[in-house]
Amino acid sequence: MTKAQNFITLTYLIETAGSPERLAAKIASDQSTGTFVPLPGETEELKNRVAARVVGLRALPPVAKPSFPTHEAGPFNRAEADIAFPFDAIGTDLSALMTIVIGGVYSIKGFTGIRVVDMKLPPEFGTAWPGPQFGVAGSRRLTGVQGRPVIGTIIKPALGLRPHETAALVSDVIDADVDFVKDDEKLMSPSYSPLEERVKAIMPMILEREQKTGKKVMYAWGISATDPDEMMRHHDLVLNAGGNCAVININSIGFGAMAFLRKRSGLVLHAHRNGWDILTRHPGLGMDFRVWQQFWRLLGVDQFQINGIRVKYWEPDESFVASFKAISTPLFSPQDCPLPVAGSGQWGGQAAETYARTGKTVDLMYLCGGGIVSHPGGAGAGVKAVRQAWEAAVQGIPIEAYAREHPELAQSIAKFADGKDA
């Protein structure tokens, strides 16, 4: 039994007009044995058994502006504090972990900023939780794609299409030889487009095309529902119709529903993290993705949407690169890595930079909406253009040079290179 296996270590970025050291000690105390008054029963033996301890404190330069507004005067002191929680005091339950090492920390008085920036879990978590059922290898096996990124697209508009209208759009993109298609995460099972009717309208086309061509498009269905029993009915509907993937709004359904689904799932679980941004967008507050993603990987996410290079959203490229690295780094084994999914405003023009900045790997899904379906030559040309852009990236050929002999790519550059249309 090594000592390192018996602690869960969290790193907190602390910002305060007062003493970061004092606040670090307060986190350790409040989140383990601490209470407001010394109580009978709070013995030294008990403290030794379960008390959290500050095991590292690194001062950072103070900042002039507080992360939380305050009437206190600056500058605001900052430090990164490592706090070790005895594993036995928490166990492997992820909701207990979240409650003890993260949840309560946010309510402590005296911070002008608090962000959880790292979490190191002992190996007990690797055996207690299933992790991805399919992950990178399963996603490749089921799509039949090797040696290049899985190319995907999204059915838009997000809301409002009736099943037959959705089916018409899907027909176009599967004819375009795309590897993967997904429902917009906002589409689940509204009354104007119940999942059952969408499945009935679309799955036969996918199976028919598989019979003709031998290639089965992976379609990610929006099966999320608040009631886990209902989500399972959605899951079964898709599985029984021959489907193999589902979009899960992990942040909206929560840990419990994800655990429930994973235990019973026969589908690749494609995670959309809608809502996550508010927990990470302010650099002095909330949580790093490197912390949050650990929970969801242990719970069983197979494919993880993490934005991409030059996205339409607030997230800067370096944050995407850090997220890619986080989910591509094994927690306990290489099998616990989900397939990274780069999306939002992608059209192929970001392939070279994505490839260069993520360790020159093609183990990812590259998800293009308008970048495929709004290609001037149609969706088929759009898919070709994206594949060409990745061939160029891997071969280290500038995209403009490669486009000279690849007309679909040339058309993409002409349409999307200003960054506004994809």
Out of 10, 373, 386, 409, the only residue in the binding site for a second copy (CB under 8 A) is 373
Of 9, 11, 16, 32, the one binding a second copy (CB under 8 A) is: 32
Q: Is 289 helix (H, G, I), strand (E, B) or coil?
A: helix
Among 138, 242, 254, 407, binds a second copy (CB under 8 A): 254
Residue of 13, 84, 119, 188 that binds a second copy (CB under 8 A): 188
Q: Which stretch binds a second copy (CB under 8 A): 46-54, 73-81, 204-212, 213-221?
A: 46-54
User: Among candidates 212, 225, 228, 222, which has minimal Cα distance to 262?
Assistant: 228
Q: Interacting stretch for a second copy, rule CB under 8 A, among 25-33, 212-220, 325-333, 348-356? A: 25-33
> How far apart, in whole angstroms, are the C-alpha atoms of residue 216 and residue 20?
55
Of 180 and 402, CB closest to a second copy: 180
Residue selected from 286, 340, 343, 349 as contacting a second copy according to rule CB under 8 A: 286
Find the binder of a second copy among 28, 176, 231, 306 (CB under 8 A).
Answer: 231
Both tokens of 58, joined, read 């690194």
Identified binder of a second copy from the candidate list 72, 227, 400, 418, rule CB under 8 A: 227
Identify the CA nearest to 205 among candidates 235, 236, 163, 246: 163
Interactions with a second copy, residue window 84-123 (CB under 8 A): 88-91, 93-96, 98-100, 102-104, 106-111, 114
For a second copy, the closer CB: 50 or 356: 50
Q: Does 37 bind a second copy (CB under 8 A)?
A: yes
CB 325 within 8 A of CB 399: no
**CB of 297 closer than 8 Å to CB of 132:** yes
Q: Determine contact, residues 222/195, Cβ cutoff 8 Å.
A: yes
Phi, psi for residue 12 in degrees, rounded to 5? -115, 135
Q: DSSP labels for 52-81?
A: -EEEEEEEEEEESS-SS--SS-S-EEEEEE
Is residue 44 left, alpha or beta, with left meaning phi > 0 and alpha meaning psi from -120 to 50?
alpha
* DSSP states along 235-279: HHHHHHTT--EEEEEHHHHHHHHHHHHHHH--SEEEEE-TTGGGG
Of the candidates 422, 345, 339, 348, the one whose C-alpha atom is nearest the C-alpha of residue 391 is: 348
Residue number with CB closer to a second copy (85 or 402): 85
Closest CA to 24 of 66, 53, 65: 53
- Of 23, 83, 279, 413, which one interacts with a second copy (CB under 8 A)? 279
Smallest gap from Cβ 358 to a second copy, in A, equals: 21
Residues in region 381-420 near a second copy by CB under 8 A: none
Find the binding residues for a second copy in span 303-362 (CB under 8 A): 312-315, 345
Contact stretch for a second copy (CB under 8 A) within 9-17, 158-166, 210-218, 392-400: 158-166
Among 174, 225, 341, 392, binds a second copy (CB under 8 A): 225
Please report how close the Cβ of residue 31 comes to a second copy at its closest, in angstroms.
7
CB of 291 to a second copy, least distance (A): 13
The residue (of 216 and 375) whose beta carbon lies closer to a second copy is: 375
Contact 386, 373 (CB under 8 A): no
- Minimum CB distance to a second copy, residue 238 (Å): 17
CB of 402 to a second copy, least distance (A): 24
229 lies in the site for a second copy, by CB under 8 A:
yes
Contacts of 321-329 with CB under 8 Å at 24 or more apart are: 321/357, 321/358, 322/288, 322/289, 322/290, 323/289, 323/290, 323/293, 324/357, 324/358, 324/364, 325/358, 325/359, 326/289, 326/290, 326/293, 327/293, 327/297, 328/358, 328/359, 328/361, 328/363
**What is the total count of residues that contact a second copy (CB under 8 A)?**
101
Residue 154 beta carbon to a second copy: minimum distance, rounded to whole angstroms = 9
Is residue 251 part of the contact set for a second copy (CB under 8 A)?
yes
Name which position in 6, 21, 68, 397 contacts a second copy (CB under 8 A): 68
Cβ of 61: how many Cβ atoms within 10 Å?
A: 7
What distance lies between CA 347 and its chain's CA centroid?
Answer: 20
Nearest approach, Cβ of residue 331 and a second copy (Å): 16
For residue 305, CA distances in Å to 23, 203, 250, 308, 419 come to 35, 24, 11, 9, 20
Min dist. Cβ of residue 98 to a second copy (A): 4
Which of 1, 2, 3, 41 binds a second copy (CB under 8 A)? It is 41
